[in-house]
């Protein structure tokens, strides 16, 4: 089974080391990990006029070639998961393949959004949280936007939320490994 390793890990200063460790863990569970930066011959990507578009085409080709996806949904540069990771998760979900995720921040999306909006957030007349523009905040107690949590649930996947020390925010892989174990069980191997 090939597993696409989605997440903002590609931006880490030690991205290659993270890729190697995630692939090692996949192999321990009888799977092949595919990191976004892995090379993939793709004539369309090779002919792309812009580097960013070539990266997009290769990542999409990786996703299409994989059997499942495990996403690092730890909030990235704001209260929500990395936008590219969320796109990839939705893309894999649309292909009808298993999607799982983990977050090294156990706080729910509402709490994180309230922290990000600061004192401008307030309750409106109906009792809902709104931001400075009067736009409602999601208040479902979920890990992130309801479409992320919902997509994982609809795929019979797992979404692990755990607290880790701030210094281990990007390196703690216990949630990732829990997803691999769940994926193995989903496939009847565990």
Coil, helix or strand at residue 159: strand
48: left (phi over 0), alpha (psi -120 to 50) or beta: beta
* Distance in angstroms (rounded) separating the CA atoms of residues 26 and 12: 20
Kind and range of the H or E run holding 100? strand 99-103
The 10s digit of each residue's pLDDT in 26-66 is 999 999 999 999 988 788 888 889 999 999 999 999 999 99
Longest dimension (CA), the chain: 56
Q: 30 with 54: CB under 8 angstroms? A: no
Ordered by where they begin, the domains of the chain are: 2-108+143-186 (3.40.50.450), 109-142 (no CATH)
* Cα 37 to chain centroid, rounded: 16
Mean pLDDT of all residues belonging to the chain = 95
The percentage of the chain sitting over the pLDDT mark of 70, rounded to a whole number, equals 99
Task: Please give the Cα distance from 179 to 190 (Å, whole number).
Answer: 12
3-state secondary structure of 61: helix
**Which has the higher per-residue pLDDT, 189 or 71?**
71
**Banded model confidence at residue 189, pLDDT cuts 50, 70, 90:** low
Assess whether pLDDT exceeds 80 at residue 190.
Answer: no
pTM score: 0.94
Predicted confidence (pLDDT) per residue in 97-138, tens digit: 999 999 999 999 999 999 999 889 999 999 999 999 999 999
């Amino acid at each position: 089974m090939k597993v696409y390793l989605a997440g903002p890990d590609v931006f880490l200063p030690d991205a290659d080391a993270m890729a190697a460790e995630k692939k090692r863990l996949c192999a321990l569970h009888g799977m092949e990990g595919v990191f976004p930066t892995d090379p993939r011959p793709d004539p369309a990507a090779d002919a792309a006029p812009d580097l960013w578009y070539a990266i997009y085409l290769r990542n999409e080709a990786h996703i299409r070639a994989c059997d499942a996806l495990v996403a690092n949904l730890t909030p990235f540069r704001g209260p929500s998961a990395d936008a590219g990771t969320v796109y990839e998760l939705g893309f894999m979900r649309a292909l009808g393949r298993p999607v799982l995720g983990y977050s090294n921040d156990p706080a729910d999306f509402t709490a994180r959004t309230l922290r990000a909006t600061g004192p401008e957030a307030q309750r409106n007349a109906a009792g809902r949280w709104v931001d400075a523009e009067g736009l409602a905040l999601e208040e479902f107690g979920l890990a992130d936007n309801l479409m992320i949590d919902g997509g994982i649930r609809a795929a019979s996947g797992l979404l692990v939320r755990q607290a880790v020390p701030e210094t281990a925010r990007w390196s703690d892989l216990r949630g990732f490994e829990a997803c691999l174990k769940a994926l193995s069980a989903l496939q009847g191997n565990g």
